[in-house]
Structure 1
Amino acid sequence: MTIYLFKTRLVFFFCLVALWFFNNTKLQAQQDMVFKTVVIDAGHGGKDPGAIGKQAKEKDIVLNVALKLGGYIKENMPAVNVIYTRTNDVFVPLNKRAEIANKNKADLFISIHANAISTPKIYGAETFVLGLHRTKENLEVAKLENSVIVLEEDYTTTYEGFDPNSAESYIIFELMQNIHIDQSIYMASLVQKQFKERVGRRDRGVKQAGFLVLRQATMPSVLVELGFLTNNTEEKFIASERGQTYMASAIFRAVRDYKNEFDAKSKLTKVVEKNESSIVDSVNYRIQVASSKKKIQEGTMVYALFDDIWMFQEGERFKYTTCCTNSYSEIISSLTEVRQKVGDAFVIAFQGNERISIADARKIQNKQK
């Protein structure tokens, strides 16, 4: 027990060091580039069959879906670089899969799997992001996918004493707040939406769990569970050519929508930064459209109403604005249009990044004339 506690504390220490590094190192921001590379990971392979159904093996199903997905991306988004962690029936260690994504500076990492459970009546598709499991069922899924490490040589050293079958080992994931969690959840929600609306699969939702394959990825990452091989009807579907085509095309549409949002935000951020840099010390006006104690998730609420949302924090509240101009007459004109969407919107003023009163803003501008 003493040795286990020592190893657990050691893992906690390294996790904290990693968190400090990522939070204090200036990573290359997504907004400064366009979506260029996606890494597609077909789970299991070679000596690791994954889940086994009555007529199919997980490793074969997910490889077919991965290759189809990559083909759709290459055909419809030729500017996007597609990289696979495997293209045939070979065994790839879990830590090497994330390493491939990191070395290629991927903008998105997608790991594809098929599920299994002791209750045959359970079926449906679900998509996971890295985090601490909230239910015993999510923990069991993570245990199943992580158990592959026992096939690797000296896995206790590679994974710092991590035991895939011990619930205590998963405590480390409570510390690991993925800096890309919002983007990962957004991508996962796009996948689930496509599965439900375009393929007609049962939507088991977006979930969190401690997957080793996602742990070291330094970009938005999701793990897709296509369905349950332990359910006869679902196994037949995802093992069929038709089912694999549908599931791959659904994930492709999610990638396409994610890329469009990614690129749109990149362009908008560059425009906003350029505009703001030219008026750092001058007065500018904005229209406040929301205030919240908690951060509003991008893509929802006011983000869905306006293309140019800018957030600032004042005390314990997060405040959201749209429009930016140094002309008072222009902001008043814009206010009329904004109030058609948000009735209680109002104008606020800044000098550089410091908020000031409208009266002071007008005085400063009058002196500058």
Structure 2
Amino acid sequence: MWLKSNSRKNNLYLNFNSIFAMKLSSKLLKKLKEFINMRHSCINFLLTFNLILAAILGTYQTSFSQHISAYTLSKIVIDAGHGGKDPGAVGKISKEKDLTLAIAKKVGALIEKNLKDVKVIYTRTDDTFIPLNERSNIANKEGADLFISIHCNAAANKRVSGAETYVMGLHRSEENLNVAMRENAVISYEDGYNETYEGYDPNSAESFIIFSMLQNAFLKQSLNFAAIVQNDFKERAKRRDRGVRQAGFLVLWKTSMPSVLIEAGYISNSKEEQFLNSEYGQDIIASSIYRAIKSYKENVDELNKTVLELQQAQKSNENTQKSSTANSIEFKVQVSSSQNLLPDIEEKYKEFGNVSVVNFNGTYKYLVGGTPNYQEAVKYCNTIKSKVPDAFIVAIENGNIIRLSEALQKINKSE
């Protein structure tokens, strides 16, 4: 397990997926594939594997939750899908790589204009081929708080339309699997992809299933943001809402922050392709994504405000309790004692000031002075010893004498 921290203390991430990625070497992938192909049920294997992984992640998240600072939204990576020699999906009048870049730039421009405290990082700003793993590396190196990969979808059925947002996870349908495998197939453009992606085969459903289990640490935040995106697509852009989905996208695999992959529409649908190519279409899609980011940031900021208030209240309560403990203990100097109460005791010791009497186990203790500060009590006692050599310090808590060592121990704990 790694703990990844950048220079900002508010950006401490627990990167579980990296440790699993390291351990899932090519040999282990091969073993897992062999296991899946055994007569044991593949479904039972997947359920067991998921339960074990969830238990491990849950345990570590709980263990380290107290050490993780508040999650903020101050850096966002905008990833325009495909690029360069990788055109992505190809329609009748456009290529996916060009549409994603146009939308990505518009989203970034809206953030830079309206959210001054948020830094935008692009994985590409021109028609350049960027390997999938390098896209997540950019986000990790920058210490980003949110990763958004923008794509356009395609389907054999030309009538399919609408927008959907994916988070990393186990696919729930064959359709989700096909989308992920199509997007992941871009790695075939990369040299040595088998080593880079640790045995992942873009044509293998088994590889997809295994790798889709690896990015769970930020699933909840990713799902929350994805839901906001889909709501804005539906309400603002008036797009058909195809919902929030889970699938195993390599571009999301190693991101150590909440991450989503947005399919803004179907380039294989002629009407939707024209919409995505229009200035209005790109503006309304970009605006919807921006508004989702703004809403998500407001939620994060509000949560941080609430957490801060709770922390301050808790600290104040702890300080009050500590102060109460310290203030309830007082140090006095005992100058005499007797079995029977002596008359005129105040007159006898009035020169020392603040004379009091405490009955302790049937014996009357005659005390002078009084201070919550032990060092002051020591100095005071030393001055009295010139006239009362047997004088010594006693500790009083709530009117009762307690052991001096016990009093000092309580005060030390409260400081």
TM-score (norm 1): 0.70
SS in 2 for 1:91: coil
Q: CA separation of 1:282/1:78 partners in 2, compared to 1, >3 Å: closer, same or farther? A: closer
Q: Counterpart of 2:198 in structure 1: which amino acid? A: E
**Number of aligned residue pairs:** 279
1:178 counterpart = 2:200: no
Cα distance in 2 between the residues matched to 1:201 and 1:164: 30
- Partner residue, 2:267: 229
Q: Which secondary structure state, in structure 1, belongs to the residue aligned with residue 317 of structure 2? A: coil
Tell me if 1:156 matches 2:194. yes
Q: Cα 1:27–1:96, aligned 2, differ >3 Å: closer, same or farther?
A: farther
1:239 and 2:277 are equivalent in the alignment: yes
Judge conservation of contact 1:95–1:212 (CA < 8 Å) in 2.
Answer: yes
Question: Match of 1:7?
Answer: 29
The Cα shift of 1:34 comes to: 3.4
Say if 2:78 is the partner of 1:40: yes
SS of equivalent to 1:175: coil
Show CA shifts across 1:298-350 (max 9, x none). xxxxxxxxxxxxxxxxxxxxxxxxxxxxxxxxxxxxxxxxxxxxxxxxxxxxx
Quick one: structure 1 residues 88 and 29, their matched pair in 2 at CA, closer, same or farther if it must change by over 3 Å?
Answer: farther
Q: Using a 3 Å threshold, how does the CA distance of structure 1 residues 128 and 100 change in structure 2: closer, same or farther? A: same
What amino acid maps onto 1:228 in structure 2?
Y
| 1:220 equivalent in structure 2 | 258
Corresponding position of 1:346: none
Shift in alpha-carbon separation, 1:107–1:229, aligned structure 2, 3 A? same
| Residues 173-200 of structure 1, C-alpha deviations (whole Å, 9 max, x = no match) | 4532512111111111111111110111
Q: Secondary structure at the match of 2:230?
A: helix
Question: How big is the shift at 1:268?
Answer: 1.1
Structure 1, 20-29 or 187-196: larger mean CA deviation:
20-29
Secondary structure at 2:263 match in 1: strand
How far does residue 260 in structure 1 lie from its aligned partner after superposition?
A: 0.6
CA distance in structure 1 between the partners assigned to 2:172 and 2:158 by the alignment: 22
Q: Deviations over 1:51-98 (max 9, x none)?
A: 000000000000000000000000011111000000000000000101
Change (3 A) 1:76 1:67: same
**Residues 265-276 of structure 1 mapped to structure 2, 5 A cutoff:** 265-276=303-314
CA distance in 1, matches of 2:258, 2:282: 24
Partner of 1:72: 110
Q: Is the 8 A contact 2:29 2:207 kept in 1?
A: no
Correspondence for 1:279 among 310, 317, 327: 317
Residues 263-287 of structure 1, C-alpha deviations (whole Å, 9 max, x = no match): 111111111022123435999xxxx
1:97 corresponds to which residue? Answer: 135
Q: Which residue of 2 aligns with 1:190?
A: 228
Q: Could you list the per-position Cα deviations for residues 219-240 of structure 1 after superposition, in whole angstroms to 9, with x for gaps in the alignment? A: 1111000111111100100111
Residues 199-224 of structure 1, C-alpha deviations (whole Å, 9 max, x = no match):
11000000000000001011111100
CA distance 1:239–1:141, change in 2 (3 Å): same
Shift of 1:43: 0.4
Number of the residue aligned with 1:250: 288
Instruction: Give me the whole-angstrom Cα distance separating, in 2, the residues matched to 1:28 and 1:42.
Output: 35
Partner of 2:328: none
Gaps of 5+ in 1: 284-369
Question: Residues of 2 paired with 1:114 and 1:103: CA distance?
Answer: 26
Is the CA contact 1:30–1:266 (under 8 Å) kept in the aligned structure 2?
Answer: no
Work out whether residues 103 and 285 of structure 2, in 8 Å CA contact, stay in contact via their aligned partners in 1: yes
Match of 1:118 among 156, 169, 176: 156
Task: Give me the whole-angstrom Cα distance separating, in 2, the residues matched to 1:54 and 1:276.
Answer: 61
User: How big is the shift at 1:112?
Assistant: 0.1
Partner Cα separation in structure 2 for residue 238 and residue 66 of structure 1: 13
What SS does the aligned partner of 2:93 have?
Answer: coil
| SS of residue in 2 equivalent to 1:279 | helix
In structure 2, how many angstroms separate the alpha carbons of the residues matched to 1:243 and 1:29? 44
Q: Whole-Å Cα distance in 1 between the matches of residues 30 and 62 of structure 2? A: 24
TM-score, length of structure 2 as denominator length: 0.62
**Corresponding residue for residue 404 of structure 2:** none
CA distance in structure 2 between the partners assigned to 1:163 and 1:102 by the alignment: 24
Q: Identify the residue that residue 297 of structure 1 maps to in structure 2.
A: none
- Shift, 1:8, TM fit: 3.6
Identity of aligned pairs, percent?
51
Which of 233, 241, 257 pairs up with 1:203?
Answer: 241
Asked if 2 retains the 8 angstrom alpha-carbon contact of 1:98 and 1:216, the reply is: yes
Asked if 1 retains the 8 angstrom alpha-carbon contact of 2:73 and 2:118, the reply is yes
Q: Which has the higher contact order (CA 8 A, sep 6+)?
A: 1
Deviation at 1:23, TM superposition (A): 4.4
Deviation at 1:105, TM superposition (A): 0.9
Query: Which of the two has higher C-alpha Rg?
Result: 2
Structure 1 residue aligned with 2:168:
130
* 2: CA distance, partners of 1:261 / 1:192: 16
SS in 2 for 1:178: coil
Residues 1:107 and 2:138 are matched in the alignment? no
Maintained 8 Å contact 1:31/1:270: no
**Alpha-carbon separation, structure 2, partners of 1:70 and 1:180:** 23
Let me know the Cα RMSD of the aligned residues.
2.8
Greater shift in the superposed pair: 164-173 or 81-90 = 164-173
Cα 1:33/1:219, change in 2 over 3 Å = closer
Distance 1:174 1:91, change over 3 A: closer
In structure 2, the residue corresponding to 1:163 is in which secondary structure? coil
